[in-house]
Every structure is written in structure tokens, then in C-alpha cells.
A and B are shown apart, each in its own frame.
Chain A
Amino acid sequence: MKKMKLVMVGNGMAGVRTLEELLKISPDLYDITVFGAESHANYNRIMLSPVLAGEQTIQDIMLNDVDWYAQNGITLHLGKKITKIDRQRRTVETEDGMVAEYDRLLLATGSNPVMLPVPGGELDGVVSFRDIRDVDAMLEASARYKHAVVIGGGLLGLEAANGLMLRGMDVTVVHLAPWLMERQLDQTAARMLQKNLEARGLKFLLEKQTEQLVGKNSRVVAVRFKDGQEILADLVVMAVGIRPNVALAESAGIHCNRGVAVNDTMQTYDPRIYAVGECVAHRGVSYGLVAPLFEMAKVCANHLALLGYGRYVGSTVSTKLKVTGIDLFSAGDFSGAEGAEEIVLSDPVGGVYKKLVIRDNKLEGAVLYGDTADGAWYFQLLREGRCIGAIRDHLMFGQANIGTGGHQGQTHAAAMSDEMEVCGCNGISKGTIVKAIKEKGLFTIEDVRKHTKASSSCGSCSGLVEQILASTLGGDYSAAPAAKSMCGCTEHTHEEVRAAIREHKLLSIPDTMKFMEWRTPNGCASCRPALNYYLISTWPKEAADDPQSRFINERAHANIQKDGTFSVVPRMWGGLTNAGELRRIADVADKYQVPMIRVTGGQRIDLFGIKKEDLPRVWADLDMPSGYAYGKALRTVKTCVGSEFCRFGTQNSTRMGIDLEKTFWKMWAPHKVKLAVSGCPRNCAEAAIKDVGIIGVDSGWEIHIAGNGGIKTEVAQFFAKVKTAEEVLEYSGAFLQLYREEARYLDRTVHWVQRVGLDYVKARVVDDAENRKALYERLLFALQDTQDPWSEMAAAPARKEFEVISA
């Protein structure tokens, strides 16, 4: 088959990223030709500031060198500017008359710096800060001249000014607004920044309007302002903004609205022509930061590959100033419009200022100066629109103060040395991560996970990894979009899939995948178990449970160990056992030569090292119910002795625990579920770190929910106080059923409650008696008549799953 022709106009980060994504998923679909107006291959434009400042070289910031294009069979034309698109003939033409045909055209023309229309703008020594040529011009000027004036006190202007100052020039920053970076900073933070920069030697002229650039022998010598003041200038850098480069698209009659107008699939008005990057206007918004551009690239590549999925729906962006030694972060809207509440921490002498803007219990904006360690965390809260009501008191003091710090309490990536371990699960040090980010050109936390495995296991170090990513890239990085799809197999979120299963009564995985237009024939190891759970929890007794879509532990009803053997935990109701059970356990241990017997933290006994083929016989010999220690299911109900024997006990906690366990066992859930019952507030059963923790008091029972003793310790929150054991069962069951129906697969109760808010859960379960009863009944219905998997399988004639074939 003849390949289609793809022509890309522009050779910048967004465009080349699109090609990279395209080559990953469909390497052979197109003959690709790239026209770049610059004479360099693809480099990291956001790192021009460190190059100017002498902290990095051009070589350091190259992303794809010329060899990369050759290796991927891409025809590259450098220094060739496309000046014409003929949409009828489907050709593009360069300035010097070269013509290329296309089947698909990708516009990635970027943006142009805005040059002030003042007299003298054409003089030598007047430059913008946009590409390598500009940097070269500035470096040359810094070697020969003294006085530099930067017009524009925004992000780019300040970075340029800092670089020129480090190159030995005397630099004045001229700004029209009353304070610096007025779009990213409030006045207080801007003043602190200005003071810091002044201390380093920069000069500032605020609220100054430039009237004219004064020249002598065709080179600029001074800048004159509207108020008559004049200052010396051998070099003038215009950094007053960028404007999408739409000239080419407009000349071809493609609809533009400030930028090249594109839809959610990055197509322009002409469906054969796509556009990505700074040149586009998506839903009326143009972006100049790398994160949104890469999101666009991904979507565009999928459509170019004819896969027809993925939509770009806009981005929330954050900003970080790349001036070494200055920590500045801002995100969202912090203008403090009506209805917004502000929390401010101001320590001008200590050089720290933080402002958080909150609206309707959600973080709406954040400005951090001096201490930006929590920037990534605030940005995450902001993007996810998380309810912050419960952590509002501590919000200002950062992530470390809400008990979710990383290992060894590390929360400040910047303060860590290269040897220090970031990911305790996979043994990945900070240095390894930084190296991978630099050498492999990683931009997202997903990239880092794939290449280094850091934060890919338990995920507790994700925040740290994100910080390292942000600090290594110096500027903005590609943060994950807020509404995440279930996995790479679908664009739908967990919630959307669940709703479809419920509303359209989907009863099998193939039906669900077909209905939701799954991209892969049978999903992946991440979405299949989730779908299986959603089906059986939404349609108990109707949807088919698919063993092949369950992780091996749930398929084999035992826990796989690193050597391929399994461990077996029989159920001991409420932690109680008897001589008969213990005798049978001892006999099994002898008969199957069990190498290790452990008492678990959940008041049960774990037999290790059982061969898979022995499992059915072990279960038959034990003659005890399954402990479900292997499942996303009700695990253990831990109890203390309680009022029967304990002199402090106020309630019969053991009995309560057994009742809870006998009612809810065999319950599958989004993740494992652990319960505990203590007979008095001394809480010997550690009920405060369980998914549901019951604490007996003299007048009844307190129910606490959403605790967690795992990766990050979370203390359970008070949920309700009830009088009777029946009420304990009903309230706990209704809470668990709500969790079963609404949480995402692999959410522990704490994650789900943090997302939806305790108030919501209380409203549905505690305040609404009718709904509580309905939830509880749905749970009992789902559990009714289910069989103990061990006795079922032990009785069944030799299950093939457990047999080994000899050859």
C-alpha cells in the first residue's frame, strides 16, 4: 500500500512531540516531511533562559537532533519557510519555490513575539526573546556593551533580564503595569520578587510607557518614555508577550480567531489540516506553556493515526519562574473576585509569602513565593477540584502537615541529595530519576513511571516524583489531566463506565467494551479487573464473573508469593478459634510440609509456601471458610476481648465483630476492606485505622469510617453514634454498599471519602434513613446465597486451573 503523505510546517516542541506520539502508535502510516524555518533541529524552547544565564548550553537543550529525523525516516528541511498552502492541490510551497504534496497537513507554526510599534523598533540591538538566534544576539551584545533594557516584566522578561545580568550587563526592566508578572502574581508577592531581584542588581521602572527607541548610527542607544525620561540602552529586549503565528493559515483561508481555530480533535476548518501548539486557539484559548501543548500533541497523533479517539478539552496551567535561587509558583485564579475566600501567610522578612484562594470549598488559585515545595500538591488539588473542607485548617501548612508525607518524612524534593531514595518500593534514588528525565527527555509523571519505575508500585512517592520533575525541568511540566480515563484502552473515566453499565444494563465485559468503544480487543491488566468488579457489583446474580479478568490471587483464592507458591489464610470469625481448627491447621502444615506459619496482624493464621496444585486439597483438609486475604474484599474484622472478660469493656466487641464478619464476608469491593471493633475507648482493636472502626462506649457504639493503616496512615473519621448492634450492622453495611457502588476500582475507602467529602457520605447514609435501609438491603441481596469459594472448589471435580500438565 502506498503511504500517505504527512507534511508538518514548523519544527518546534509541540509539532515534534506529535510526530513522536504518532510514530509510537503507527510508525508506518505516513511518509513524513518537516519544514522548519529555524536552522536548528528541535530544541527545548522553555530552557532558553538557563542557556542565556550560562547554566546550560544549546547542546543540553536539544530534544531531537538531525539524526533522530533520519532514523525515523523523516525528511527534514531546515531553514525553509513555507509561505503558501494550496488547499485544492494539497500542496505547500516554500519561500524559494520548493513544493511538497500532502494528504494530511500539520500546522505547528508556533507564535511570534509581540514587537511594540514604536519608532526605532527596527534599529540594531533591538531583539525579542524567542529562539536561539535571539539568545545569540543577546550573548553577543552582552560581550560588547553595558546597558540593557528589557521591556516587559512578565515571566519571559524577568528571565531574560536575569540572564543578561549574569552575563555582566547593567539591566533595567521596564513594565507598564503597577507590579511585575501581574497575570501570575498578586501585588504582595510581586513586591517581594522585585525586592529580591533588586538586591541581585536588577533595576525596575514600573508604570512606564515606552515612546521611542533612540538610535545612533543605526544602533539603539537609549529608550525614551512618555513622561520624557530617557535611559541608556545598547540592547533592548522586547518581552511583552507572544501572538499565535496565524499568517500562513489565514492566507490559505483557514478560520482563525487570534489563533488557528481547532476543535477538540485538533482539526482546523479544513479537515485534512491539523494544528497544534502555540499557534492554535482551542475554545478561544491559546496556550504558551508546554504541558497543554503536549496534551494536544497526544490527541492529534491519535487522530492522525486514524484511531479516531481522544479529545483535547483544555488545560489548567501553572507557572514557575526559572530564575535560580528564586522560588515562585502560581496557578489558577487568585484575583480574589467576589465570593472567593483567601488564606494568606505573609513573612516579608523571612521571604515567604503564600496565598490560597478558595471558593465553594475548593482551591481556586495559589501563589507561592519563597517556599514552593507544595506547589505541585496545590496544583493537584486545584485540577482535581477536590473538596478541601476537611483539611482547610492545615491547608496552608502543606502536604507534610496533613500526615501524607513520603518516606522518612521527605516532602521537599529539592532538599534531597541525589543518593537519597525516593521510591522505597523499587529502590529508586533521586539521582536516577533526574538522570532519566534529562537523558530520555521525560515530561510527565507517567513517563517517569514507565522508565524508572519510581512511584509505579504503591504510589506514595508520586508527589515527590512530581516535584523532582518540576524542579528538574525548571519550568512547567506536563501535569496529568484532571479527569483521567480508566486506562490507555479507553477515553472514558471510571464514573462514565460505571454509569453506562448501570443505565444500559451491560452484563459482560465484551458487551461493555463494545458499547464504550474500547480501543483494545480485550483491554489490559488494569481495566479488565475493574470492569469485572463494576459488572458484578452493579448487577449481582446477573452479570457473569469472569475469572480470566481477575488477578491471580482472586482466581486462585490464595496469595501468590515471589517464588510462585501461595499462602492460605482461613477465616477465624472475629479472631476466635478453637482446638479443632488449630489441630486441623497443624495437620495441614505437617501433611503439605508448610515451610512457614505466621500469625497475621488481623488475628488469623497464614500458611505459606503451598503449591498451587495442592490448594484444593489443603482447603478440603482445613475445612474452614476462606479468609479472603487475597481479594479486594472484606478481609478481617479485628476485635478486642470486650465486656465478657475485660474489666474495662463496656460492650461485647467480640460478638459484634463476629456478627459483622458473618454478615459481610464474601463481599467484593473496590479494594480490600478491613473492620475492627473495640469494646471501650482504649481501642485495643485499633479501630481508628480501619475502613470501618467500631468503638463501644457505655451508651452504645461509635462508628468511624475511612481510616487506613497502610502506605499513609489516616485516622478514621467519626461517622455516627448508634445504640444497638442492629444499627451498627445497618450503618456499616450501608456505608460499605455506597463505597461499593460509587468508588473507583482500587480506591480505598479513605481515597473515596477524601474525594467526595465526609458530608456527602453522611448525607446519604446517616441523615437519610430511607436511603440507608435501601443501601443495606442491596448489600444483603448481593451477598445472599453466595458460596464459600474454598468449599465450592474443594468439592468440585479437579479444577483445571490448579492442575499441571506433564509433557
Chain B
Amino acid sequence: MTDWLKICTLDEIPQLGSRVVESRHGRIALFRTDGDEVFALEDRCPHKGGHLSQGIVCGKHVTCPMHGWNIALQEGRAVAPDEGGTVTFPAKVEAGVVFIRV
């Protein structure tokens, strides 16, 4: 497992919003909830590959802008009855700085 990567400060991600991170694993969507938790997911909806980073964040879910699938930020799973999942990466906030491990 690789080391934690420093990405940005927490306030560079809007609450209930996201930022796109270009990594060696491709595009990663980095989300911030209204409780200031952060989650990192592959920026790819399991349905048709839509950019999840561009979706609307509610609670701990994001709604894909393409066809409205809901994806749980924690596990990367599509909310039933839709089926499928997207890869998640560990993410954390320490002293106002956001880290992810890819």
C-alpha cells in the first residue's frame, strides 16, 4: 500500500461539493459532506461512466449527473434497485488538510 498523498486543504472543496484529482489511477472524485467528511471515488459511474464529481451531493450520497443513479460515497455502491459499484480510495482530513491513498 502506498503512502497518504496530500491533495489540498479542506476549504478548497466546497461543502456538499467535490474536486477532481488527476492521479496515476486516473480521475478521482473527492467529495466533502456538510459534516466535513471527505470521500474519494473513481470518477466513473458504474452505470455508463458518468463523472460522479459533477453530481449533486446529499448526505453521504452523490447523484450522477448523467442518468440520476445514486452512489453511496462510503462504499461506492449504487443505491438499490440499481446495481453496481465504483472503486473507493481511503481519504482523511488532518489539521484541515485532505489526504488520499491510491
User: Which residue numbers of A lie inside 8 Å of B, CB to CB?
Assistant: 450-451, 456-457, 520-525, 528-529, 547-549, 551-552, 556, 560, 562, 564, 800-801, 803-807
Q: List 14 A-B contacts (CB under 8 A).
A: A521-B59, A522-B34, A525-B63, A528-B58, A548-B16, A548-B56, A552-B56, A552-B65, A800-B19, A804-B20, A805-B22, A806-B21, A806-B22, A807-B22
CA A807 to CA B5, docked complex, whole Å? 7
CA A556 to CA B59, docked complex, whole Å? 22
Q: Is the CB of A522 within 8 A of B21?
A: no
- Given A450-B81, A564-B51, the answer on whether A524 and B20 have CB atoms closer than 8 Å is no
Q: Which residues of A contact B15 (CB under 8 A)?
A: 548
Q: Which residues of A contact B50 (CB under 8 A)?
A: 562, 564
Q: Is the CB of B7 within 8 A of A807?
A: yes
Partner of B66, one of A522, A556, A562: A562
- Given A525-B63, A805-B21, A807-B5, the answer on whether A564 and B54 have CB atoms closer than 8 Å is yes
- Rounded to whole Å, the gap between the CB of B70 and the closest CB of chain A is 8
Q: Is the CB of A551 within 8 A of B48?
A: no
Q: Is the CB of A807 within 8 A of B23?
A: yes
CA A564 to CA B49, docked complex, whole Å? 9
Q: Is the CB of B58 within 8 A of A560?
A: no
Q: Is the CB of A547 within 8 A of B21?
A: no
Q: Is the CB of A524 within 8 A of B63?
A: yes
Partner of A525, one of B22, B28, B30, B58: B58
CA A520 to CA B21, docked complex, whole Å? 29
Q: Mark B13-52, 1 if CB is under 8 A from A, else 0.
A: 0111101111100001010001000000000000010110
Q: Mark B60-92, 1 if CB is under 8 A from A, else 0.
A: 000101111010000000000100000000000
CA A451 to CA B80, docked complex, whole Å? 9
**Which of A457, A552, A564, A801: most chain B Cβ within 10 A?**
A564
Q: Is the CB of B5 within 8 A of A528?
A: no
- Rounded to whole Å, the gap between the CB of B90 and the closest CB of chain A is 13
Q: Which residues of B contact A456 (CB under 8 A)?
A: 68
CA A548 to CA B15, docked complex, whole Å? 8
- Rounded to whole Å, the gap between the CB of A552 and the closest CB of chain B is 4
Closest to B28 in A: A807
Q: Is the CB of A524 within 8 A of B58?
A: yes
B93 within 8 A of A: no
- Rounded to whole Å, the gap between the CB of B102 and the closest CB of chain A is 7
- Given A562-B66, A805-B20, the answer on whether A525 and B34 have CB atoms closer than 8 Å is no
CA A724 to CA B54, docked complex, whole Å? 45
Q: Is the CB of A551 within 8 A of B65?
A: yes
Q: Is the CB of B16 within 8 A of A522?
A: yes
Known pairs A524-B63, A548-B57, A805-B30. 18 more at Cβ < 8 A? A456-B68, A520-B58, A522-B59, A547-B14, A548-B17, A551-B56, A552-B55, A556-B54, A562-B48, A562-B50, A564-B50, A800-B19, A804-B20, A804-B21, A805-B8, A805-B19, A807-B7, A807-B102
CA A552 to CA B56, docked complex, whole Å? 8
CA A548 to CA B12, docked complex, whole Å? 14
Closest to A564 in B: B51
CA A520 to CA B55, docked complex, whole Å? 18
Closest to A553 in B: B65
CA A549 to CA B15, docked complex, whole Å? 11
B10 within 8 A of A: no
- Rounded to whole Å, the gap between the CB of A331 and the closest CB of chain B is 30
Q: Which residues of B contact A562 (CB under 8 A)?
A: 48, 50, 66
- Rounded to whole Å, the gap between the CB of B85 and the closest CB of chain A is 18
Q: Is the CB of A804 within 8 A of B22?
A: yes
- Rounded to whole Å, the gap between the CB of B17 and the closest CB of chain A is 5
- Rounded to whole Å, the gap between the CB of A381 and the closest CB of chain B is 28
- Rounded to whole Å, the gap between the CB of A807 and the closest CB of chain B is 5
- Given A548-B17, A560-B65, the answer on whether A807 and B58 have CB atoms closer than 8 Å is no
Q: Which residues of B contact A800 (CB under 8 A)?
A: 12, 14, 19
- Rounded to whole Å, the gap between the CB of B26 and the closest CB of chain A is 11
CA A549 to CA B17, docked complex, whole Å? 9
Q: Which residues of A contact B34 (CB under 8 A)?
A: 521-522
Q: Is the CB of A523 within 8 A of B19?
A: no
CA A521 to CA B58, docked complex, whole Å? 8
Q: Which residues of B contact A804 (CB under 8 A)?
A: 19-22
Q: Is the CB of A560 within 8 A of B14?
A: no
Q: Which residues of B contact A560 (CB under 8 A)?
A: 51, 54, 65-66
Closest to A450 in B: B81
CA A523 to CA B57, docked complex, whole Å? 9
Q: Which residues of A contact B58 (CB under 8 A)?
A: 520-525, 528
- Rounded to whole Å, the gap between the CB of A515 and the closest CB of chain B is 18
Partner of A807, one of B56, B67, B100: B100
Closest to B13 in A: A800
- Rounded to whole Å, the gap between the CB of A425 and the closest CB of chain B is 9
Q: Which residues of A contact B28 (CB under 8 A)?
A: 807
**Which of A457, A520, A807: most chain B Cβ within 10 A?**
A807
Q: Is the CB of B81 within 8 A of A528?
A: no
CA A804 to CA B30, docked complex, whole Å? 11
**Which of A451, A552, A560: most chain B Cβ within 10 A?**
A552
The 3 A-B residue pairs with the shortest CB-CB distance in the complex, in nearest-first order: A525-B63, A552-B54, A525-B56
Closest to B57 in A: A548
Q: Which residues of B contact A548 (CB under 8 A)?
A: 14-17, 56-57
**Which of B51, B55, B70: most chain A Cβ within 10 A?**
B51
CA A803 to CA B17, docked complex, whole Å? 13
- Rounded to whole Å, the gap between the CB of B32 and the closest CB of chain A is 10
CA A564 to CA B20, docked complex, whole Å? 12
**Which of A456, A529, A560: most chain B Cβ within 10 A?**
A560
CA A524 to CA B60, docked complex, whole Å? 11
Q: Is the CB of B56 within 8 A of A805?
A: no
- Rounded to whole Å, the gap between the CB of A489 and the closest CB of chain B is 9
CA A597 to CA B23, docked complex, whole Å? 31
Q: Is the CB of B55 within 8 A of A525?
A: yes
Closest to A800 in B: B12
Q: Which residues of A contact B63 (CB under 8 A)?
A: 524-525
Q: Is the CB of A805 within 8 A of B55?
A: no
Q: Which residues of B contact A521 (CB under 8 A)?
A: 34, 58-59
CA A804 to CA B68, docked complex, whole Å? 23
Q: Which residues of A contact B56 (CB under 8 A)?
A: 524-525, 528-529, 548-549, 551-552
CA A275 to CA B16, docked complex, whole Å? 40
- Rounded to whole Å, the gap between the CB of B82 and the closest CB of chain A is 8
CA A524 to CA B58, docked complex, whole Å? 5
- Rounded to whole Å, the gap between the CB of A802 and the closest CB of chain B is 10
Q: Which residues of A contact B51 (CB under 8 A)?
A: 560, 564
- Rounded to whole Å, the gap between the CB of A435 and the closest CB of chain B is 14
CA A666 to CA B102, docked complex, whole Å? 43
**Which of A451, A520, A800: most chain B Cβ within 10 A?**
A800
**Which of B5, B23, B54: most chain A Cβ within 10 A?**
B54
